[in-house]
Chain A
């Protein structure tokens, strides 16, 4: 890991025999399956986390800060005590943090396009969506990591979910699954927009109102009618309610069905648009 490259090239002379040997590899292996290609790209995403660990900051420090901040900021005023409020807030803040992290998917796609590695991937004879699925597989890891970090902070602060480990896991699985589906929106923007900044800008423009104007912080019934109407149709509200119910061990079949359905729609619509742009580009 030296900072400046010592030029090994000064002594390098391409030799006909060593180079010739690698040019006669025998039969080419068959193409990898769709799954294997996607997993390979997922492996790349993990390697990138290893080489550029600062990106984990967004999935650790930021969620911790959000949890602490909102618990103590609103706890007293909204629910009388912070521990009581935490039971309500924690699933919400988990949804909010993870959903906001999805925007980095678009940024990662855009960065790769600008660097030119993307061109190489696009000239490979592989299942076309594999690079995109690979990003998202890497993201699954980050979503899971953020969820776990928030859960731990919550447990330390006094979060006692009624649904037990099974309920909590189910809630986190639903959240991570929905975030995977939502990420296709950002891969589309990553392919569509001109710069990393605009991808970031659009993502924030969509995600901030969507996450704040939801049932993350307060019960929508306390809101003015027009706002309550919006909050109730916001898919994030459905997701928060579903995750909250799963963690609390109460039933929320309607919300869960709604979340799964909207996730499927995201994948079909934005997945298709993403792949169309990817092939076109």
Chain B
């Protein structure tokens, strides 16, 4: 009954939201297939939150159309609210109340009778590892626990579509991977997840498709593989012991990796963007070969790493300029 894989969970065309002169969302077209994780990637101020808020019926679009499972977010807002849940960028639970009270409150508001709401709250707390913290005020939770109670609140009635707005920003690596695991389990049970993030690796790990947005516009869309191949598989960073060997190292790397070598400000460091057409594995192999060639030429390498392309590099590749953050743009 929850199989809708052929439908679209979200469909927008020409979606616009302006704040004064600022076109926060500027003609956005999105198609999100049901039953998948869809990543929306963009720097600060790109318009991610604004777009999500329109889709979750919190903001009224100034132009264009948006449909959630075929229902218009303005005209059929009430139907849409019955299908979606939102975990906002900032905590959307009541910090003065305990975890238990928050979940009971939502359970009651979603139509559960008192005992049922209490049972469901206890079950959710258990599943999210928060039983011990059940009777503590949320303001005393750690960042990771807060995120979990927030997500628990969002899946109380197992929505058809779950919005997660930057669910891992500010979390430590362990808490991030917990959130990732939760997302995978939720989507495996048939809920469509739209996730916004500033991290390419997060979108890469979770999402079936990714939309890259900047200044409220879609600048690229595709599977993580498609996006990465347009960007390059990543960068090889090399640090030498002897700065005098850098010209020689530059020649070797350029030959082996067939790519432009950047000389860093640090006189012993070099960076090479690995060729885009190759898969990750091939890139790693190329890098390994380059490393042994460096050794064969008698160049001493102190440090070596193969990095995923960063959001900055994605933007560089897609727009020929670095990701402008809100502050930098202003």
The 8 Å CB contact of B82, one of A24, A121, A125, is: A125
Closest A residue to B148 by beta carbon equals A9
Closest A residue to B154 by beta carbon equals A120
CA distance in complex: A43, B107 (Å) = 13
Q: Are B109 and A5 in contact (CB under 8 A)?
A: no
Q: Is A233 an interface residue (CB 8 A)?
A: no
Q: Which of A30-38, A148-156, A191-199, A240-248 contacts B (4 or more CB under 8 A)?
A: A30-38
Q: What chain A residues lie within 8 Å of B12 (beta carbons)?
A: none
The 8 Å CB contact of A52, one of B88, B96, B133, B142, is: B96
Enumerate B68-114 residues with CB–CB distance to A below 8 Å. 78, 81-82, 84-86, 88, 90-97, 101, 105-106, 108-113
Interface string of A266-281 (1 = CB under 8 A from B): 0000000000000011
Q: Are A120 and B191 in contact (CB under 8 A)?
A: no
Enumerate B111-154 residues with CB–CB distance to A below 8 Å. 111-113, 116, 120, 123-124, 126-130, 132-133, 136-137, 140-142, 144-145, 148, 153
Kindly list 4 other residue pairs between chains A and B, CB separation below 8 angstroms, not including A120-B86, A122-B58.
A2-B136, A22-B120, A32-B108, A52-B96
Enumerate B19-66 residues with CB–CB distance to A below 8 Å. 53, 56-58, 60
Q: Is B220 an interface residue (CB 8 A)?
A: no
Residue from B81, B111, B186 having most chain A Cβ neighbours under 10 A: B111
Q: Are A8 and B157 in contact (CB under 8 A)?
A: no
Q: Are B153 and A120 in contact (CB under 8 A)?
A: yes
- Listed from nearest, the 9 A-B pairs whose CB atoms lie closest are A12-B129, A29-B111, A14-B181, A120-B92, A125-B82, A125-B81, A23-B189, A40-B108, A9-B144
Q: Is B324 an interface residue (CB 8 A)?
A: no
Q: What chain B residues lie within 8 Å of A222 (beta carbons)?
A: none
The 8 Å CB contact of B92, one of A8, A23, A117, is: A117
Interface string of A35-61 (1 = CB under 8 A from B): 011001101100110011000000000
Q: Is B284 an interface residue (CB 8 A)?
A: no
Q: Are B144 and A24 in contact (CB under 8 A)?
A: no
CA distance in complex: A101, B88 (Å) = 32
Say whether, besides A116-B88, A120-B86, A125-B82, A24 and B109 are in contact (CB < 8 Å).
no
Q: Is A19 an interface residue (CB 8 A)?
A: yes
Q: What chain B residues lie within 8 Å of A123 (beta carbons)?
A: 56-58, 81, 84-86
Closest B residue to A280 by beta carbon equals B60
Closest B residue to A126 by beta carbon equals B109
Cross-chain pairs A/B with CB under 8 angstroms, 16 sampled? A7-B144, A8-B132, A9-B142, A14-B182, A16-B188, A19-B128, A25-B157, A25-B158, A31-B82, A43-B105, A117-B92, A119-B56, A122-B58, A123-B85, A130-B109, A281-B58
Q: Are A119 and B58 in contact (CB under 8 A)?
A: yes
Closest A residue to B123 by beta carbon equals A22
Q: Is A21 an interface residue (CB 8 A)?
A: yes
CB distance from A244 to the nearest CB of B (A): 38
Q: Are A124 and B81 in contact (CB under 8 A)?
A: yes
Q: Are A29 and B96 in contact (CB under 8 A)?
A: no
CA distance in complex: A32, B109 (Å) = 6
Say whether, besides A8-B132, A116-B88, A13 and B181 are in contact (CB < 8 Å).
yes
CA distance in complex: A216, B272 (Å) = 80
Q: Is B185 an interface residue (CB 8 A)?
A: yes
Q: Are A5 and B145 in contact (CB under 8 A)?
A: yes
Q: Are A124 and B88 in contact (CB under 8 A)?
A: no
Q: Are A16 and B108 in contact (CB under 8 A)?
A: no
Q: What chain A residues lie within 8 Å of B142 (beta carbons)?
A: 5, 7, 9
CA distance in complex: A125, B81 (Å) = 5
